[in-house]
Amino acid sequence: MTEYRLGVIGDPIDHSLSPQIHNLFAEQTNLKIDYQPYRVLSENLNSFVKDFFESGGDGLNVTLPHKVQCSQIATSTSPIVDIIGAANTLKSAKRSKDIFAESTDGNGLIQDLQEKSKIGSANILILGAGGSALSIIPSIADCLPKNILLDNRSQEKIQPLIERFNNLTINNSIIDNIDHFEDDIDIVINATSAGFSGAFNWYRDLNLSKKTFFYDLSYTKDNSKTPFLNWAIQYSDNYSDGFGMLINQAALSYELWTGIMPGTTINKSDLIND
């Protein structure tokens, strides 16, 4: 039986659930994998990736802070990586020695969010204007929401992001600053790191209601709520953390490497055995 040599790279990496997730996928699909976490410093990233694939590696997941640099290391890239300038998955084409870069974050989000809320024709607010927001905007735009709205504590970061996606303003989907919007918001997506070190609070009032759906790209490893969701429940009972996105983006990476799409019905308790 062929064994796939896989891994995840980041700094830090101890927190990663990717090894457990992919080992569950391998059990489901009856494939043999060797999936390892690798703490890689930025200054060693180029040499590590080159050595990993030259020594027979098949694929790598990429987490912070390496997503942008890995998109530049790759010798070929997907259309979405070309747009966002970041990658969370690398694949080896051994015959050509090509390293292909893909981003499964956005589609992983959409697969989870579509099961929980209607995206088409919705007014969607993204909190944050960094790499996490950048990685999900193209996939959200593909679902044809009415508006994609951006808000960020540092306002100067919003306009460059809007200008970057001007070519995605199609089919009535408009990407704009929340300052220019007065209607109700249907979905709020937290793409910030705010709240990681304490309670979450947003710096201004938003047009939110009991119908608003709240989605946090972050997740907890148990059944507790993230700080963002603890803030959201004052407005609505409709919310989710990003655990489903985590599983779905991993499944899309696994499919890219093996050609087999695994099942994504995985619970937190399947991964955390504390």
> Could you tell me the residue ranges of all domains in the chain?
3-104+245-271, 117-237
Q: pTM of the full predicted structure?
A: 0.93
Is-same-fold flag (3-104+245-271; 117-237)?
A: yes
- Structural element, H or E, at residue 254: helix 243-258
Superfamily the domain 3-104+245-271 falls into:
Leucine Dehydrogenase, chain A, domain 1 (3.40.50.10860)
- What average pLDDT does this structure show over 189-212? 89
- What average pLDDT does this structure show over 143-151? 94
Per-residue pLDDT tens digits for 11-54: 999 989 999 999 999 999 999 999 999 999 999 999 999 999 99
- Please list, in sequence order, all residues whose beta carbon lies within 8 angstroms of the beta carbon of residue 101, skipping any fewer than 6 positions away: 70, 71, 73, 74, 76, 77, 78, 81, 87, 89, 90
Residue 67 is a catalytic residue: yes
Find tokens 């890219």 and name the residue: 256
274 has pLDDT over 70: no
Q: Which of 57-71, 132-146, 160-174, 203-217 shows the lowest per-residue confidence on average (mean pLDDT)?
A: 160-174
For residues 99 and 53, is the Cβ–Cβ distance under 8 A? yes
Distance CA 248, CA 107 (A): 8
- pLDDT of res. 195: 60
Active-site option among 50, 67, 157, 210: 67
249 has pLDDT over 50: yes
User: How many Cα atoms sit within 13 Å of 262 on the Cβ side?
Assistant: 26
The 89-93 sheet, strands edge to edge: 32-39, 3-10, 59-62, 89-93, 98-102, 76-77
CA distance to 105, 111, 142, per residue, from 35 (Å): 19, 24, 32
For residues 227 and 33, is the Cβ–Cβ distance under 8 A? no
Instruction: Check if CATH label 3.40.50.11750 holds for domain 117-237.
Output: no
Find tokens 């799409």 and name the residue: 261
